[in-house]
Amino acid sequence: MKIIFHSKSSKNKKEFEPKASKKSIPKWFLDHDKHARNENGEIKKSKYIGKDGVEKEANELTWKSCPAILDSFIYGYYIYTPCDIEFKKENGVYKVYQDNDFIEGVHKKTFSFCGIRGEDSRFPTPEGHENIHFTWTTNWFPQTPKGYSVLMTHPINRFDLPFLTLTGIIDCSEYINGGLLPFFIKKDFVGVIPAGTPYAQVIPLKNEDWQSENVFYDEDEMVDHRKQMRLKYNVDHLDHTTNYKELYWERKNFDDD
């Protein structure tokens, strides 16, 4: 499958073009230890129930070892800010400053990349953020094959960023016109969001019909279910206690060479 990103500005630069998100995994994630450690640097130990039902000991792992968290960083594509964006408070009012190449009316542009909509109490404000709607005007816009949409959202698990982009699902196999993507900034944030900061994660979705089913268990059935899952998934290994990554995890390929 192929996704195409259309430039919506003649001033977009190649260095800030959309890329597979795996190419921008944050340094704080890469640098984190996969093991939990004591103050003396030794790896902590934790207890788990082995396949034989006997309690065993293994190395205690951190979130760095979780394939599901890693997948959130490598799934889909990032769209990046095309220039530095400075947020200032002047007499208590927010002002946004950005490169002239991305301001409305300059160089025949018809939109500003980053704008201010103002307050809107009808949409709940995320905790710890300003009650002001800012907007990204998407400077790149995806086109998917027919039958596919995209989830466009804040870069997943990137709580280190000083803003929070809202989430939307867009049908874009034929509609490739771009638009406004609202976001909030953290409370009292002033400073610069540098060019090349991911502001949205784009995840292709196949449009299919789904049906749901809920399965309930009584207490005896739950005990038996847990036992069956332990026999199926648990392994006796110092550094992992399930076979999820070896047998069930699937590699996600986006722009692999």
Whether residue 133 lies inside any domain: the answer is yes
CATH number of residue 115's parent domain: 2.70.40
Q: State CA 76 to chain mean position distance.
A: 9
Sequence-distant (6+) residues with CB within 8 A of 19 are: 77, 78, 80, 255
| pLDDT at 233 (0 to 100) | 79
| pLDDT at 195 (0 to 100) | 96
Whether residue 95 lies inside any domain: the answer is yes
How would you write the pLDDT of the chain (257 residues) with one tens digit per residue? Answer: 999 999 988 889 999 999 999 999 999 999 999 999 999 999 998 887 777 778 888 888 899 988 999 999 999 999 999 999 999 999 989 999 998 877 765 555 556 799 898 877 788 999 999 999 999 999 999 999 999 999 999 999 999 999 999 999 999 998 878 788 999 999 999 999 999 999 999 999 999 999 999 999 999 999 999 888 877 877 777 776 678 888 888 888 998 65
Q: Which residue has the tokens 């190419």?
A: 23
Whether residue 109 lies inside any domain: the answer is yes
Compute the residue count for the chain: 257
| pLDDT at 240 (0 to 100) | 67
Whether residue 19 lies inside any domain: the answer is no
Whether residue 239 lies inside any domain: the answer is no
Query: How many domains, in total, are found in the chain?
Result: 1
Q: Which of 79, 66, 62, 83 is nearest to 24 (CA)?
A: 79
| Structural domain span for residue 190 | 80-206
H-assigned helices in 11-123? 27-31, 67-74
Whether residue 216 lies inside any domain: the answer is no
139 close to 85: Cβ distance less than 8 angstroms: no
Whether residue 188 lies inside any domain: the answer is yes
Whether residue 72 lies inside any domain: the answer is no
